[in-house]
Structure 1
């Protein structure tokens, strides 16, 4: 396309084959000149300058603004000098001095990218394809094929906060457009019954934006239609758990309904079949689905064409295994009385909501629902997948059930539809650890729904005498987790024939400060056989006192003494005579086996410890205390630290903190959260030598590990010692 009669000057926007300079920003940053990759960039600041100029070519940019964007911490004169050097390098690597017209318009005061030069930018091409009306399927396909990842994926300038904020806003803007395009093209293919092609785009959407619930539903539906029903249900379960763990919310009703349709076989694979004919009809007014299956179809019938097939149960056989599990039984007291007051329909709605809220807590801690009844459920931890801390998970599940049920009752009580009807409902939860038999049903293998035996029977007996609204735990389970929770004795119950008596306790809640369950309380012994390792750790502490940080990894199998080694080091450090004006600051964060999918699980505990925030305090007190502590440690950057730590800890935001986070989501929020933690730790280490112990990193969530990797470079700037403790597990 020619412009203004200037022969040989091509607009870049959709003419890649004519462009001398080609730039990709929808994914990793890539630059090519006449088809060859451009090298020779002196630094990422030069790349950032090129990206910024090409994405905003419509007006000139003053030099002092560009200098402040990329070198905000430099004095103005030094920043402008750095800009001159970067500009000189940029012009050299893209051949700006030898091409006509040049890529850059440069004056003594301003710099502007020349949008009349022969260049191509994938972001411009992407937007031009989507801006055409009408938007055809072919243009949608071309647009999404341009996208190779997040906007400037992996690109960051940690020391240039203004550029980072610009980057985040652009990333969010393009991210929304990409998500909309992927959803649309997947919907087009789904409408055409091209489910495999639709599935490819739906997977890309969810990978880029996992919180997009419309995209999650689209992917679940397409998986079911491609014959991958189990994966669709696993994706739903995982999505529910992530929503609860990270956002404290449940999926939308449409998502829940879709999962039940898939589970019931109402959305099924489109296959060639030779024995059952199915026809697509107008949706039934009562049922609401457009599938019709004949009542009499035998294997002798031979039909052709496309058939929509229901999922049929397999044959049942018994292949039992004996396992030790922790059983959680929950029953809603008062449900029968509620039925007589509100009628069947409203009762079913209320009880379905209650059972769903309870089931979410089971999933949250890695358990499986064994069975449902009209007023409760039974869950097992360890029936399908055994964890070394299943008893702890079971008690946490029970306590979380009580919290979730109480929150639901408050919500229902405030509803006009149920006002006055739910105040008499209470939840009883019982927990016991013991043997069960887990049977295998048909070809599907053992399942939690076939667990039966002693442990389930004991929890049922505990329910008979349990007080409303309490969590009762058997003596067997309590012994396994006693140091972790607060307890209240509840006497004994008759556990069955033969006069067997079972002691029971009420679990009041998790202790505010808990130690790892190692050894026997009140007993100690000298450390033996770890002299070399202990001396290495002591040497790292001595160097820390001299202002030199470091990284130490403590790797070993379970039970070999890793935590004991670190505990002994801390005791020795605490007994060391003070040689400086300040004490050593010691912070510990622990990863939990049931929180591997919870973002920042390591850092929430570590930062609460560092800032001395009481986990048992009411939320309002914690909110105030967090801001006070951040003000003490980071007086010069409170607004760059406090809002992001509050959001990480799931604390409510008000005033300026809420405004600061407005519009920041996804990757942008992640980058600024990383920066906030970095600023806090750097300020603390400037005040006193800092030791950060990261326990059980083999259970760390991906986000915690990424943040740890980002923070390790602090050792080059401040006296901070990282002690990373983990098992040698290959997958981590």
Structure 2
């Protein structure tokens, strides 16, 4: 029996369907939808032969024997081409009469990992714990809680459907048994947090079992978190009332009462909430993708839609960090949010939409509709309580419905977030939203627009403008990095500087770096080259003479997959320079890399090489939050400080009405903290009590970074930063000491949310943060804190 080789494939059928060799995911057979069912059946009933007649009748009951066996041969051939190769045998072993699955010819099979025989003893002994610990290393959440062949069915194959239902139930029982044993052994070894994670998975796969609910509640209480246990109870009891109109069992109610009685002496002011508390409000951008197949063959169309759905999930989820909501046959929803600021989230969604529409235009058998909208996400810090998106998904679905095929459409809120990155065209037809208001919709114009000067030039940036001009006039390589946080006016500064430059005949290339969790080498440069029509640009042709449409092929042509030394890198850069087109001696060339914090390191190193060695030397300008941490910047760095008072007052004179008093201008500048974008937004919304979403979005990442200290941050916003630590501890929903309050506040000072005035006195780093904290929390939570404060005063 051969040992599993690194060249053998891994087959995943629980929670997902995937075939991998090492880190590379193999494309699943696209032509036959029944190929997945056949693979799942053979892998599940492995290491024994199955007659071809039985398999043909199982998957093609409507066909005669000859036609069914012919289809089986075609599907089997397709599977063997995917699973096998020149350097690895296929695990599907067949002869004239039967077909089988040899598990020793795969590197890993998640079904085999789940069905690994458990120790026979019933009590938890050291040997059993050791065996389970070794097994737990290979157990992923997909294996422990994922469905077998998720969302897969074969209408018309009744016998297979019965087998599939039975198999899923059998594997589900195996998961429940394994999780119970893992919980017991984790508790015995003192790994209480791991045991709690396993218990939550247990509730996920068997949500109606009150024994599991009571077990998780007791584990939360033992860990010192009775509030979390009560939230689980409230969520479960509401679902019972809503779906079955019944109350929980007496044992569950008794446990609830016991927890309530035990919490009374711990919390003096904040009683447990009798209703579900929304602990967090976040701004998110929602994208809806709906694929359409043009195939006339129903089976081929179903398989194609399934493949496109998996490809969409891989791009948006694994590569771009989106959260998947649902896919119920009417399009998939994804939302982008934390840890990205809302502007970056909008750009992530827009970038993903452009990639998907580009793929769709290259497909001959599929089209796509894409809509993007933004709004508020209501969620709990407890993973067992689902997130709520309210009406955002409904509005996003309407935007998607209005979209043309292969042409993404965005709402006006998203357009405002994308406005500075490129121009969008407005649809002539406007439509009403569900609340009766009129919303405009926008679609893509053209990318890589040249920068235009802002309508209101920034004040207080003359030193930076003069420094940029001085560096450009210098004889050495011109390389400048402008680094600052969101809203500090980096884009406006560059646009204002370019407007002042004599640009007759000069060329400006603006590269907007696309957000990506794992940017691939030279991917930013590739997107820049492919954004121009091949007929208008020499650089749109790869080294092999083909047009640049396939990134993987292009990187392979350039031999840029594994760059091991500086010599290889220099040779690669020499091949890349001609792709940008000729540099004219009589005119200057400027490259502006925007949002450089999203840029891959190799692209940035290439432009540095270009600025150093090309003749005439181009001028390189990069803007963003920060440079990649893995490289040293050889050029100049310009940091943008907050605006001085005189510059802020000058801007407010233009942005505020003439009737605004000097005191009002002073208050606006104080609230802005010298951040230009905040100042502009405050001026635009002057006279309104509600804080605009763009302002909330600017500060929400810093607030979200507080994690478990977020509750204390809200209490400080409502009660005041001068509240004694004893009172703050009494206002916390869980038992908290003065020392823990002091540690949490020190952590918030270190993160930048608070600023230390003296040894013990602190204040919020920005005057708007307390109001934004209240906006990012449910009104019910704020009312409870204020009621508790009133009780303390009385």
1 or 2, which has the higher strand percentage?
Answer: 1
Q: Provide TM-score, normalisation by structure 2.
A: 0.42
Structure with bigger RCO (C-alpha 8 Å, 6+ apart):
2
Q: Provide TM-score, normalisation by structure 1.
A: 0.45
